[in-house]
Amino acid sequence: MAVPLLEPAVLRRLEALALQVRRAVSGQMGGERRSVRRGQSVEFADFRSYTPGDDYRLIDWNAYARLDRFMLRLFVAEEELPLSLFVDLSGSMDWGTPNKAETARRLAGAIAYVALNALDRVRLTVFAEGPTSGGAPYRGHRSAGQLFAKLQGFPAGGTTDYARLVWPIGRQRPGMSIVISDGLGEPGIEDALSALQRARQEGAVLQLLAPQELAPDWTGDARLKDAETGVEREFTSTPLTQATYLRALNERTEQVERAAHRRGLRYARLSTADPIDQMVQVTLRRIGLLA
């Protein structure tokens, strides 16, 4: 029997969470999000004068009695949130203990589950060398199982090419996009994040790293092999060279963080050593992605 992506206990705890949206959304179907359009809900928005053709059911008869004018009551329309998940399953993610790709699948599944519970529409895209769609958008918590199976079905491998994310991102309707990646691919992730900004996406970048790359635990001579390209290089690890590596890694993560913040995106650096509950309940709450 296949191992479930997320344990039932984790799912139960996720049901208490909701995605935090900073601005009103514009979806295709009714949902639980404030829409930019006026519609049917219980939340009063405004009055306006009646013009022929309006739905006379919306005429405020009390106002007519006081003002001797037909006034229409306008309510905030509640619509669904289009949420796009971009999950990096390149070769560099298939590394570390716990494995970065596996953790990325679980994290994406957890966020998707929160969204599906709120009747939001979830679109899944995995990427390595190029983007691969995770199928038609998912809606309603009953579709969570299909989404989880899809996530588990994608193998990890290949080189990272963030540039090829630009096109699918540009097609997104305004909504929320979350990118889960280690952010280590070359060239950098900046172009993809700019595309998110242009597509009016309220999003987040979740940079996922393994503890072994945050603090290498080996020294001595080795032949280093790139997990994505397979390129090899001889190397001697000493305290000095390790310090140089950590400095480069730190610069890279700060670069990704600056790029995200500059484009109004939320950013969190996560270690695969942390349990999924801590990532969701603590880190994602701290950056305001979940509440």
Residues that bind another protein (CB under 8 A): 92-93, 95-96, 100, 182, 184-186, 210, 213, 218, 221-229, 231-236, 238-241, 244-245, 248-249, 252
C-alpha distances out from residue 276 to 9, 52, 208, 257, 273, Å = 12, 55, 12, 21, 9
Shortest distance (Å) from residue 183 CB to another protein: 10
Nearer to another protein, 58 or 227 (CB): 227
Q: Whose structure tokens read 């013009």?
A: 51
Nearer to another protein, 209 or 289 (CB): 209
Contact 259, 196 (CB under 8 A): no
Shortest distance (Å) from residue 264 CB to another protein: 27
Residue type, 167: W
Shortest distance (Å) from residue 160 CB to another protein: 9
Shortest distance (Å) from residue 35 CB to another protein: 42
Q: Is 211 helix (H, G, I), strand (E, B) or coil?
A: helix
Nearer to another protein, 28 or 236 (CB): 236
What would the two tokens of residue 264 be? 């109004």
What would the two tokens of residue 265 be? 């995106």
Shortest distance (Å) from residue 247 CB to another protein: 9
Length, in residues, of the chain: 291
Residue 30: strand pairing partners: 79
Contact 77, 93 (CB under 8 A): no
Nearer to another protein, 58 or 249 (CB): 249
Nearer to another protein, 78 or 228 (CB): 228
